[in-house]
Amino acid sequence: MFTVDHLPHRPGCYLFKNTKGIILYVGKAKDLQKRVLSYQHQKEGDWKTPTLIDQINHVDFIVTDTEIEALVLENTLIKKHQPKYNVRLKDAKGYSYIQITDEPYPRILISHQKQGKGVFFGPFVSGAERAYIIQFLQKTFHLRTCKRMPKKPCLRFHINLCDAPCINNITKKEYLRNIKTCKQILRGHIDSVLLNLKEEMKELSDQQRFEAALIKKNQIFALDHLKERQNMQREKKYNEDIINFTVDKESIYVMIFNIYKGTLANKQEFMFYASKDAFEEFIIQYYTENPIPKEIIIPHPVSQSVQIYLSSISNRKIKCHVPIKGEKKQLLDLVEKNIEIAFFANTKKLSALQQKLRLHESPMVIECFDISHLSGTSMVGSMVQFRNGKSDKNNYRRFRIRTVHGIDDVSAIGEVIRRRYQRLLKEKQLFPNLIIIDGGKGQLNRAIHELDELGIVIPIISIAKKFEEIYLPGKSMPLQLQKKDKTLHFIQEIRDEAHRFAISYNKLLRKKEMIK
């Protein structure tokens, strides 16, 4: 079962991935951790949900500032990755335009292409956001929606949603003035519109035209809500990369948001040793192997030589921009938030684990062992490694049990521990900071015995599945953590990964035996 402790209580998008790292499903959430956790407690649902949950190995995420941003980002990621379990639309409605018609009393419509008379705005990546903006403008400024002007007012007039130009309830000049305001809003000039509306409201109030002033007040209130527009969708004719980094002790943590023509499409994470020119060296190495966008947004200036080099290898002028304020600065800050959650959430997990187990040093490298067999046949062992709080699949190991026959998990654990650390001794490799055994007190004692025989001292614990009790060396009673304890969840995450890896190897061997 996948874990959710690394997910923050913030809005954003979550990406369910399988063991190969393939994205199975993309979803949005107002609270990422609560939303993903709901999948584990779902009792009933459509046919595909249980199938999806069985295939999830890891949950990745991208944090946004608002739920609206998450909505737009979800749409973009689905179109880019085409996940198996998402609804995949094959038409292009998501990229339609908003059209203000060329009529005596113009209307606001959806247009799939920039064709016909009128003014066009967009394209809009999110169909939901596009529909919201059209409805917002129609309701706020009481615009007509009828295809042909009727001879008498319709229901929308009677429920105060239309000013009914069909019966001359509003002058043409005033109606076109509202249309002009709508055009300003669609161009993104909301602040100037708000300023004008506030001045008009004050003027009407001074004239004691309170009903007209109330209309302006309602428009101002509605526009204040509309200002919560997502940062990820900005119509651009070129690509951008948003790069930010954080230095912590001896390491530098870098994250890149790849923005394709105004739409966030991908994020990448990097970590390496910090040095004086580490960031500039990273920029050069990264763009030697990756496409260079027209604009690179960074938190600190880079030398002129770096910009000249990037321009030379891309055969066009490349701009490295350091924003001080505005939407680009907001994007830069958003990347910084994602760095903090992606990298330092794991640091907190390791600190909590060190404290609960009373370890002398932080368990930066953890190795966990499990045994799998089918009634004593095809017995195998697995070892998974977690480095800096994340699974390090390059250092996973699997063992075919050689000296144990029948059902004897204790002896099998002894063999795997002996083989693993005998080899590390021989090759003079570094030992982990913590060993976790999937099993009870018997498996733990056998593992300790094997380490003693090799003359190795490594902190070691075991976790028994039945009551999720943690056994420590030299302690007669197990350490019992609360079910909601994040340290217990972290240990379970590591144990479950070792269990999954062992089962997959056991199935592989049984398949080979069947073929024979």
Query: pLDDT band for position 357 (50/70/90)?
Result: very high
Query: pLDDT band for position 51 (50/70/90)?
Result: confident
pLDDT of residue 50: 78
pLDDT exceeds 90 at position 339: no
Residue 488 CB neighbour total at 10 angstroms: 20
pLDDT of residue 8: 86
Mean pLDDT on 67-81: 74
Q: What are the beta bridge partners of residue 379? A: none
Mean pLDDT on 23-37: 88
pLDDT digits over 103-139, tens only?
A: 888 988 888 777 778 888 766 655 666 777 787 788 7
pLDDT digits over 197-213, tens only?
A: 788 888 888 888 887 77
| Tokens coding 158 | 């009677």
The domain locations on the chain are 12-90, 94-226, 240-345, 365-515
pLDDT of residue 238: 66
Query: pLDDT band for position 226 (50/70/90)?
Result: low
Lowest mean pLDDT among 164-178, 220-234, 391-405: 220-234
Which tops the pLDDT comparison, 219 or 502?
502
Phi-psi group of 286: left, alpha or beta (phi > 0 → left; psi -120 to 50 → alpha; rest → beta):
alpha
Domains 240-345 and 365-515 alike in fold: yes
pLDDT of residue 325: 85
pLDDT exceeds 70 at position 262: no
In three-state secondary structure terms, 448 is helix
Residue 363 CB neighbour total at 10 angstroms: 23
Question: Rounded mean pLDDT of the chain?
Answer: 82
CATH dotted code for 12-90: 3.40.1440.10
Domain 365-515 in this protein, CATH class: alpha beta
pLDDT of residue 452: 94
pLDDT exceeds 50 at position 94: no
* Rounded Cα–Cα distance for residues 345 and 337 (Å): 11
Determine if the pTM surpasses 0.85: no
Q: Does residue 312 contact residue 284 with C-beta atoms inside 8 Å? A: no
pLDDT exceeds 90 at position 384: yes
Sign of the dihedral through C-alpha 494, 495, 498, 503? negative
Among the four given CATH numbers 1.10.10.10, 3.40.50.300, 3.30.420.10, 3.40.50.150, the one describing domain 240-345: 3.30.420.10
| Tokens coding 70 | 């998450």
* Neighbour-count burial for 318-350, b at 16+ CB within 10 Å, e otherwise: bebeebeeeebeebbbbbebbbebbbeebeebb
